[in-house]
């Protein structure tokens, strides 16, 4: 029964709690209203900023389109006039387009729906007759501006909103459209920059039918959808310019506070919604905290009352609680995973926990009781030798009452085995006096094994287990010292697998890793005991072979390398595959080729690449000529772009004559590098340019310069002269060849039919749809295509059917001995006959005598070029050559 003082305390606490609860409820209600008001203000501010940005973007785009529609000449709005106006109109469109980030580009469309000009495409190929903006503007003369639905562009293939204005004749007739595709991605970035909380939303819709233009965050399948029974859309349709409303969205059923505003005079409005859960999140947290605190107060009050009632009972149960505490301590002592042992002042065993007995291998305490514990468990050193009693730190801690912290050592288990441990020893105190020592220890055997594994991985390859570069360099230093003392040579082999990338790409990296492991095992089986095999990474291995003495040692090295190459040729039987490979090996010798690891490895790497160039599956010994060649290629590469910018590249031109009458029909442009007084031939720098990708900017310069020079010749000699330009396969892969050719023709004014692109059969050997598409587009431009060095490739003749090829250039290897070798004659006749039936022109390269020229003319070959007619000439020399030929014909 509750006594009177307790009842007074109870009433006081209840009144205090109720008053506090009423005050908290009032404050929470006020905070709720304030949060909703702040959300409305934030939504209005966001909408105001977005509306200003959107209205400004649409207004300046409209103004630009209207200005474009007024100043566009009506004569340019036809397909027939496009070649004349293409370059000029593109420049006029590109200039304003680059100042408007919200548009993809500017377009001019004729009355038939053909896209004639575009700011980002020289000759666009598209028709928009079926687009909504074309239908509306062409059928409704009174409409001056139209916005389409959101759709994918036919030129740029991205989501766009078309904004279009009509172009009309002075009489008001429909003449075309000026159109700007608005980049939805630009508006998406604008919306992405706004943070309305985790469930906030921004929408950009049509004000007439509620169609969705853009939503942040995006929701698949909602673009262009109209709204039905939407409260906000109903208010917009009723004529409200802006407002605030709160409702549950039909799309995701989330309640939000929405602010909306029309975008200027345009048929759009923007809305921003802040979810109630977001702006009330802090309020909910406060509410939850208040409830929790209230409950805690109630619990505290109940606890106080309960304590008043049971204070006497708790005193009676104090001894029981003490016993329970001891039980808990004993439970903790027995369950801890760390070994704990107690010893008295003489080191005799007092107690232990189960973990200690398990670690030391004792089933119970009987064998430990009254034993000298330090002498029993700490009796041996780490290597197994007996530990002198004077060196036992545990015994010292027991005698001196000191502590030992985190000492690594070994303990002896019951069966005599050693246990790696880390232990601590603390004085055992009672009433302030030292009565013994407590020993705590744990098994660190697994940690030691992990440390050893880490040390192994630091110097070995994780995949194959072979030494890595760090260990390889260390062993090189050791072997080099031995070689120097014994007056021997040390061979370093740089080994690279041939075609390993194909295995990785076709079968996957798992099979590739399994293959590398098999190669490592085979290398170790093929090497001598004192040889070292290392993996540098990827499919590259480094071998160190000591003990090379004189020429006999080099011959023995050659035999060992031959055994390695032969061994690697044998098939590898993997789990699910049988694979074959080979290797290219570069060899450098210590101390002949270098005395340090880095120098030797670089030279062995250089020799390996020469082995690759020699056909692979072979080896090459390093010599200084390789280094000179590598430095020369590096010098050319480092000076290449500077030479191109400085105008050091020049073009020479070799005439191409008609065999029937000797008239020059065209020239082949051949590039040279004028490096000061030295004229560098293409054979020295073209391979480097192709391997490094620098052939792309060089090819662009050659096209522009050749087209410019060809136009100058037309003006000087008043007759057409075709110019042929060689195209590298790299330009198809890395360069925008179609755009480069169109730009060169547009800038020079050269008719497309006077430009001939020469392609090698290598380019067509790995023909892809991209290559075929590019060649088809070039053919549509009117550019002529020729196959250079025809007959030397290994590709199928199928490409002659698929491509619009105009000419076959017969390789000079068949022409040089035409009068002496009957087989060459038969091959040339077959090529000419095939070309005649396929209605292709033929041109023979490398004609060096009148006899060969006459024989080719008899065979039916139409054109030829070679030293018999003229060597490659500069532009000035070719001009004089053409004048001399014209004078000879007139005489």
- At residue 706, the pLDDT reads 92
Strand 755-760 versus strand 722-726 pairing type: parallel
Q: Is the pLDDT of residue 551 over 60?
A: no
Rounded average pLDDT over 126-150: 89
Q: Is the pLDDT of residue 693 over 90?
A: no
Q: Which is more confident, 177 or 317?
A: 177
Are 587 and 619 in contact by the 8 Å Cβ rule? The answer is yes
CB contact burial 875-884 (16+ within 10 A = b; e otherwise): beebbebbee
| Banded model confidence at residue 855, pLDDT cuts 50, 70, 90 | very high
Q: Which is more confident, 785 or 377?
A: 785
- At residue 401, the pLDDT reads 77
**Start-to-end C-alpha separation, the chain:** 144
Alpha carbon 575 to chain centroid distance? 32
| Average pLDDT score, the chain | 83
Rounded average pLDDT over 45-73: 89
| Banded model confidence at residue 309, pLDDT cuts 50, 70, 90 | low
Least confident of 83-97, 182-196, 364-378, 866-880: 364-378
Q: Is the pLDDT of residue 451 over 50?
A: yes
Q: Which is more confident, 325 or 570?
A: 570
Q: Is the pLDDT of residue 311 over 70?
A: no
Two tokens, residue 514: 């399994």
Q: Is the pLDDT of residue 312 over 70?
A: no
Least confident of 60-74, 314-328, 335-349, 367-381: 314-328
State the pTM of this model.
0.42
> Could you give the strand order of the β-sheet that contains 349-352, starting from the edge strand earlier in sequence?
349-352, 339-344, 433-443, 418-430, 404-412
| Greatest mean pLDDT range, 220-224, 261-265, 320-324, 367-371 | 261-265
For the residues of 10-48, what is the DSSP string, one character each? HHHHHHHHHHHHHHHHHHHHHHHHHHHHHHHHHHHHHHH
Rounded average pLDDT over 307-321: 65
Cα 564 to Cα 558: distance, rounded to the nearest angstrom: 10
Q: Which residues does 726 contact at the CB level (< 8 Å), separation at least 6?
A: 668, 669, 670, 758, 788
| Banded model confidence at residue 411, pLDDT cuts 50, 70, 90 | confident
Are 356 and 341 in contact by the 8 Å Cβ rule? The answer is yes
The residue count of the chain comes to 891
Cα 269 to Cα 262: distance, rounded to the nearest angstrom: 4
Q: Is the pLDDT of residue 564 over 80?
A: yes
Are 687 and 613 in contact by the 8 Å Cβ rule? The answer is no
- At residue 405, the pLDDT reads 78
| Greatest mean pLDDT range, 320-329, 332-341, 610-619, 873-882 | 873-882
Cα 573 to Cα 518: distance, rounded to the nearest angstrom: 9
Cα 563 to Cα 568: distance, rounded to the nearest angstrom: 9
Q: What is the pLDDT of residues 730-749, one digit of tens each?
A: 777 766 888 889 999 999 89
Are 698 and 642 in contact by the 8 Å Cβ rule? The answer is no
**Tokens 């004609």 map to which residue?**
847
Cα 727 to Cα 265: distance, rounded to the nearest angstrom: 54
Cα 346 to Cα 350: distance, rounded to the nearest angstrom: 11
Rounded average pLDDT over 144-157: 86
| Banded model confidence at residue 318, pLDDT cuts 50, 70, 90 | low
CB contact burial 422-446 (16+ within 10 A = b; e otherwise): bbbbebbeeeeeeebbbbbbebbee
- At residue 5, the pLDDT reads 57
Structure letter (DSSP) for residue 464: T
Rounded average pLDDT over 770-776: 77
Cα 464 to Cα 444: distance, rounded to the nearest angstrom: 28
Cα 466 to Cα 468: distance, rounded to the nearest angstrom: 6
| Banded model confidence at residue 1, pLDDT cuts 50, 70, 90 | very low
Rounded average pLDDT over 498-518: 86
- At residue 10, the pLDDT reads 63
Q: Is the pLDDT of residue 156 over 90?
A: no
Q: Is the pLDDT of residue 664 over 70?
A: yes
Q: Is the pLDDT of residue 630 over 60?
A: no
Rounded average pLDDT over 547-557: 71
Cα 679 to Cα 652: distance, rounded to the nearest angstrom: 12
Rounded average pLDDT over 341-355: 83
Q: Which is more confident, 2 or 478?
A: 478
Are 623 and 657 in contact by the 8 Å Cβ rule? The answer is no
Q: What is the pLDDT of residues 105-130, one digit of tens each?
A: 889 999 999 999 988 887 888 899 99
Q: What is the pLDDT of residues 6-32, one digit of tens each?
A: 566 567 667 766 777 787 787 778 878
Q: Is the pLDDT of residue 241 over 80?
A: yes
Are 155 and 115 in contact by the 8 Å Cβ rule? The answer is yes
Q: Is the pLDDT of residue 636 over 70?
A: no
Cα 734 to Cα 725: distance, rounded to the nearest angstrom: 18
Are 369 and 343 in contact by the 8 Å Cβ rule? The answer is no
Q: What is the pLDDT of residues 792-840, one digit of tens each?
A: 655 456 666 677 788 898 988 888 888 888 888 888 999 899 889 888 9
Q: What is the pLDDT of residues 243-274, one digit of tens each?
A: 998 888 878 888 888 999 999 899 999 999 88
Q: Is the pLDDT of residue 458 over 70?
A: yes
Q: What is the pLDDT of residues 758-768, one digit of tens each?
A: 887 666 655 56
pLDDT above 90 covers a percentage of the chain that reads 18
- At residue 734, the pLDDT reads 66
Cα 780 to Cα 178: distance, rounded to the nearest angstrom: 27
Handedness of CA 588, 590, 594, 597 (dihedral sign): positive
Are 420 and 441 in contact by the 8 Å Cβ rule? The answer is no
| Banded model confidence at residue 277, pLDDT cuts 50, 70, 90 | confident
Q: Is the pLDDT of residue 520 over 90?
A: yes
């Amino acid at each position: 029964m509750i006594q009177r003082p307790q009842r007074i305390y109870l009433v006081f606490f209840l009144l205090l709690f109720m008053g506090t609860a009423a005050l908290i409820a009032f404050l929470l209600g006020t905070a709720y209203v304030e949060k909703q008001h702040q959300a409305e203000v934030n939504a209005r501010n966001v909408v105001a900023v977005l509306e200003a940005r959107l209205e400004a973007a649409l207004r300046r785009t409209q103004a630009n389109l209207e200005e474009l529609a007024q100043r566009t000449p009506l004569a340019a709005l036809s397909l027939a006039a496009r070649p004349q106006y293409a370059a000029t109109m593109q420049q006029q469109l590109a200039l304003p387009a680059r100042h408007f980030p919200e548009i993809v580009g500017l377009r001019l469309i004729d009355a038939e729906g053909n896209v004639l000009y575009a700011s980002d495409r020289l000759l666009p190929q598209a028709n928009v007759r079926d687009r909504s903006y074309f239908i509306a503007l062409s059928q409704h003369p009174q409409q001056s501006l139209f916005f389409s639905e959101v759709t994918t562009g036919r030129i740029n293939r991205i989501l766009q909103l078309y904004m279009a204005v009509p172009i009309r004749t002075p009489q008001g007739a429909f003449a075309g459209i000026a159109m700007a595709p608005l980049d939805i991605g630009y508006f998406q970035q604008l919306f992405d920059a706004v943070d309305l909380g985790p469930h906030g939303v921004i929408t950009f819709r049509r004000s007439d039918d509620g169609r969705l233009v853009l939503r942040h965050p995006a929701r698949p399948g909602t673009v262009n959808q109209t709204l039905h029974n939407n409260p906000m859309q109903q208010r917009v349709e009723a004529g409200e310019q802006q407002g605030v409303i709160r409702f549950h969205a039909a799309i995701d059923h989330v309640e939000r506070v929405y602010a909306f505003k029309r975008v200027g005079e345009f048929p759009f409005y923007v809305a921003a919604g802040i979810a109630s859960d977001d702006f009330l999140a802090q309020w909910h947290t406060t509410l939850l905290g208040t409830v929790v605190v209230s409950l805690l107060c109630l619990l505290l009050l109940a606890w106080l009352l309960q304590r008043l009632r049971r204070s006497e009972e708790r005193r009676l149960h104090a001894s029981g609680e003490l016993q329970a505490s001891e039980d808990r301590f004993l439970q903790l002592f027995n369950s801890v995973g760390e070994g704990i042992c107690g010893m008295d002042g003489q080191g005799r065993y007092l107690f232990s926990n189960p973990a200690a007995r398990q670690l030391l291998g004792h089933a119970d305490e009987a064998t430990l009781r009254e034993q000298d514990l330090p002498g029993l468990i700490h009796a041996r050193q780490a290597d197994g030798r007996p530990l002198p009693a004077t060196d036992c730190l545990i015994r010292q801690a027991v005698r001196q009452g000191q502590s030992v912290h985190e000492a690594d050592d070994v303990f002896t288990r019951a069966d005599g085995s050693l246990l790696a441990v880390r232990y601590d020893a603390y004085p055992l105190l009672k009433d302030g006096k030292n009565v013994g020592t407590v020993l705590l220890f744990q098994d660190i055997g697994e940690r030691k094994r992990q440390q050893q594994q880490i040390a192994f991985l630091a110097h070995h390859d994780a995949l194959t287990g072979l030494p890595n570069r760090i260990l390889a360099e260390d062993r090189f230093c050791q072997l080099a010292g031995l070689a120097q003392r014994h007056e021997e040579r040390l061979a370093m082999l740089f080994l690279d697998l041939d075609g390993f990338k194909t295995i990785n790409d076709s079968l996957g990296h798992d099979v590739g890793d399994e293959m590398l492991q098999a190669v490592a095992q085979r290398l170790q089986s093929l090497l001598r005991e004192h040889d070292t095999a290392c993996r540098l990474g990827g499919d590259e291995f480094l071998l160190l072979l000591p003990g090379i003495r004189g020429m006999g040692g080099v011959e023995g090295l050659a035999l060992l390398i031959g055994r390695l190459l032969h061994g690697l040729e044998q098939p590898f039987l993997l789990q699910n595959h049988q694979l074959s490979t080979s290797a290219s090996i570069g060899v450098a010798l210590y101390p002949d080729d270098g005395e340090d690891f880095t120098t030797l490895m670089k030279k062995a790497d250089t020799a390996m690449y020469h082995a690759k160039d020699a056909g692979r599956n072979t080896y090459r010994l390093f010599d200084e000529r390789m280094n000179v060649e590598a430095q020369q290629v590096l010098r050319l590469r480092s000076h290449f772009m500077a030479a191109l910018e400085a105008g050091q590249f020049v073009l020479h031109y070799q005439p191409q004559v008609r065999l029937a009458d000797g008239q020059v029909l065209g020239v082949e442009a051949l590039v040279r590098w004028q490096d000061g007084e030295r004229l560098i031939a293409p054979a020295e720098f073209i391979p480097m340019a192709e391997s490094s990708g620098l052939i792309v900017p060089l090819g662009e310069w050659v096209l522009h310069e050749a087209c410019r020079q060809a136009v100058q010749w037309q003006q000087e000699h008043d007759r057409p002269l075709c110019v042929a330009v060689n195209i590298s396969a790299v330009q198809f892969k890395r360069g925008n060849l179609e755009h480069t050719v169109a730009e060169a023709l547009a800038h020079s004014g050269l008719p497309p039919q006077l430009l001939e692109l020469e392609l090698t059969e290598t380019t067509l050997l790995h023909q892809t749809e991209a290559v075929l598409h590019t060649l088809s587009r070039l053919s549509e431009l009117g550019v002529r295509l020729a196959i250079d060095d025809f007959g030397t490739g290994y590709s199928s003749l199928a490409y002659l059917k698929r491509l619009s090829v105009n000419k076959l250039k017969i390789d000079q290897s068949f022409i040089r001995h035409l009068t002496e070798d009957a087989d060459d004659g038969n091959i040339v006749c077959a090529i000419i006959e095939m070309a005649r039936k396929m209605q292709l022109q033929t041109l023979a390269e490398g004609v060096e005598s009148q006899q060969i020229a006459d024989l080719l003319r008899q065979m039916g070959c139409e054109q030829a070029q070679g030293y018999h007619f003229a060597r490659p000439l500069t532009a000035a020399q070719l001009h004089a050559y053409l004048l001399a030929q014209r004078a000879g014909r007139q005489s």
